[in-house]
């Protein structure tokens, strides 16, 4: 009888802790769902478009000039939210970062926001949304698992440098693998630098255009060339490095 009472007392804290964890997970999942729903309902994607960037060009520059620190914080936080919730608009944000902050500094801020947001998406998939990710992106899990089994850092670095899969898919599917958080963060932070710089540099050049005649300038042409080369990387990789099934 005494043993049963002791066992019941030992089980009670564990059960209460489990219920608390489940309740916490449900709250976080609900917050994620509400945030995504609000983004879609209020059509916030319209503000993450090239047209919106062009229309608000002067206001963005003026605000950044007078409130630089605040602008940096807003930009990084926005990038974290967009990437963490796997929302569309990261490319436009990268262009905007290059336009407002410059190619090099913009790349730094993009890297901070993208890496942090990607890590949050990774953790959400691992601890909160495992079943949903498996159902939604199951066809990508096996090839990613195989690549990680050989060399997790090298394979993830390749996926970041060469976008064989969409960025947000890699974030979510990686959460279902055994790769540790440190390896994931390091490979992501290093691997997205080239692509981030190309888009940030292009945003800087395109944002400075005041007339169509300036499209023929060397800097703008160079930006277009870099974008074209970046788009060809996956094609070249598949042709020369991927083995046929």
Question: Smallest Cα–Cα separation from 208: which of 195, 218, 194?
Answer: 218
Same domain, 123 and 79: yes
CA distances from 62 to 6, 74, 77, 122, 222 (A): 68, 15, 20, 36, 27
Greater pLDDT, 25 or 182: 182
Residue 124 counted as domain residue: yes
Same domain, 139 and 190: yes
Distance CA 222, CA 205 (A): 9
Same domain, 112 and 164: yes
Same domain, 24 and 116: no
Contact of 109 with 101, CB cutoff 8 Å: yes
205 pLDDT tier (thresholds 50, 70, 90): confident
Same domain, 133 and 22: no
Distance CA 154, CA 234 (A): 16
Take residue 45 and report the two structure tokens written for it.
């994607």
Max avg pLDDT among 68-77, 130-139, 142-151, 224-233: 68-77
Same domain, 104 and 74: yes
Distance CA 97, CA 203 (A): 7
Greater pLDDT, 6 or 219: 219
Look at 69-83, 153-167, 221-235 and tell me which has the smallest mean pLDDT: 221-235
* Domain limits for position 209: 49-240
Provide the number of structural domains found in the chain.
2
Residue 245 counted as domain residue: no
Same domain, 74 and 5: no
Max avg pLDDT among 7-11, 56-60, 105-109: 105-109
Distance CA 134, CA 217 (A): 48
Same domain, 95 and 32: no
Give the predicted TM-score (pTM) of the model: 0.82
Which residue in this structure is represented by tokens 């292009």? 202
């Amino acid at each position: 009888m005494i043993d049963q009472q002791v066992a019941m007392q030992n089980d009670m804290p564990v059960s209460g802790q489990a219920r608390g964890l489940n309740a916490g997970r449900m709250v976080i999942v609900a917050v994620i769902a509400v945030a995504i729903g609000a983004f879609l309902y209020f059509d916030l994607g319209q503000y993450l478009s090239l047209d919106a960037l062009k229309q608000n060009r002067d206001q963005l520059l003026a605000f950044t000039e007078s409130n630089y620190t605040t602008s940096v914080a807003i930009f990084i936080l926005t990038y974290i939210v967009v990437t963490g919730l796997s929302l569309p608009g990261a490319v436009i944000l990268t262009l905007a970062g290059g336009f407002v902050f410059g190619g090099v500094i913009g790349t730094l801020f993009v890297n901070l926001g993208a890496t942090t947001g990607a890590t949050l998406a990774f953790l959400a998939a691992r601890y909160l949304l495992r079943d949903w990710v498996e159902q939604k992106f199951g066809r990508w899990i096996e090839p990613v698992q195989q690549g990680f089994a050989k060399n997790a850092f090298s394979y993830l670095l390749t996926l970041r440098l060469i976008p064989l899969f969409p960025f947000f898919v890699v974030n979510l599917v990686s959460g279902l693998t055994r790769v540790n958080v440190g390896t994931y963060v390091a490979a992501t932070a290093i691997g997205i630098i080239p692509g981030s710089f190309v888009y940030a540099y292009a945003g800087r050049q395109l944002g400075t255009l005041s007339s169509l005649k300036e499209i023929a300038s060397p800097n703008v042409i160079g930006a277009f060339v870099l974008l074209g080369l970046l788009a060809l990387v996956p094609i070249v990789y598949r042709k020369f490095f991927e083995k046929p099934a």
